[in-house]
Structure 1
Amino acid sequence: MNINETRMRIDLLDDVLLRIFNERARLALEIGHYKKLLDLPVYDPAREKKIFARMKSDNPGPLDDGAIVRLFERVIDESRRLERIMTQQEGQEEC
């Protein structure tokens, strides 16, 4: 395998990650809808701790656990941001 082949494999993985990130975001928006119906807060620190613990326990490397947590923190932050935007938009539609 050469550098170009390896880069092509990375590009394919990036395409998969893009689809996965967007599907996760769609599901987060669905969760946000349920949270609004149930009058639950967008931020759920206990849930986030469970996600981080599960990701660390399943982490085969080479990324260390700190890197995994930082990556998932970012993904979760963006999901939370989307939930807040959705909640604000739904609130404006009700007015």
Structure 2
Amino acid sequence: MDIDGIRKRIDLLDDVLLRIFNERARLALEIGHLKKGLNLPVFDPSREKRIFARMKDENPGPLDSDAIVRLFERVVDESRRLERIMSHADEEEN
């Protein structure tokens, strides 16, 4: 396969990742609303540790485990940030 063909495949994967990231964020917002109703904190360190450990265990490579954890730390951090933003927006509306 040539460079253009590989880049087209990467573009398709990027499109899939974009949809997946946004769907994950939507689900995180749902959890955020549930946590707020239950008066639970946004940050759940034990849950995050389980996510990272599971991703390391499931990682087939070629990215090493540290790279996978860094990527998922960003994804989880952005989800948590979004939860906080939406929680504050909800508070301002009330």
* Bin of the TM-score, shorter chain as denominator length: over 0.9
Q: Residue 39 of structure 1 aligns to a residue in which SS?
A: coil
Task: Give the percent of matched residue pairs that are identical in Structure 1 and Structure 2.
Answer: 76
Equivalent AA in structure 2 for residue 41 of structure 1: P
Report the counterpart of residue 71 of structure 1 in structure 2: 71
* RMSD over aligned Cα atoms: 0.4
Deviation of the 1:2 alpha carbon: 0.6
Equivalent AA in structure 2 for residue 85 of structure 1: I
Report the counterpart of residue 2 of structure 2 in structure 1: 2
CA distance in 2, matches of 1:64, 1:14: 20
CA distance in 1, matches of 2:91, 2:10: 41
TM-score, scaled to structure 1: 0.98
Number of residue pairs matched?
94
Deviating beyond 2 angstroms after TM superposition, the runs of 4 or more aligned structure 1 residues are none
TM-score, scaled to structure 2: 0.99
Deviation of the 1:28 alpha carbon: 0.4
Equivalent AA in structure 1 for residue 44 of structure 2: D
Structure 2 residue ranges without an equivalent (≥5):
none
Structure 1 residue ranges without an equivalent (≥5):
none
Alpha-carbon displacement from aligned partner over 1:12-61 (angstroms, at most 9, x marks no partner): 00000000000000000000000000000000000000000000000000
Q: Residue 75 of structure 2 aligns to a residue in which SS?
A: helix
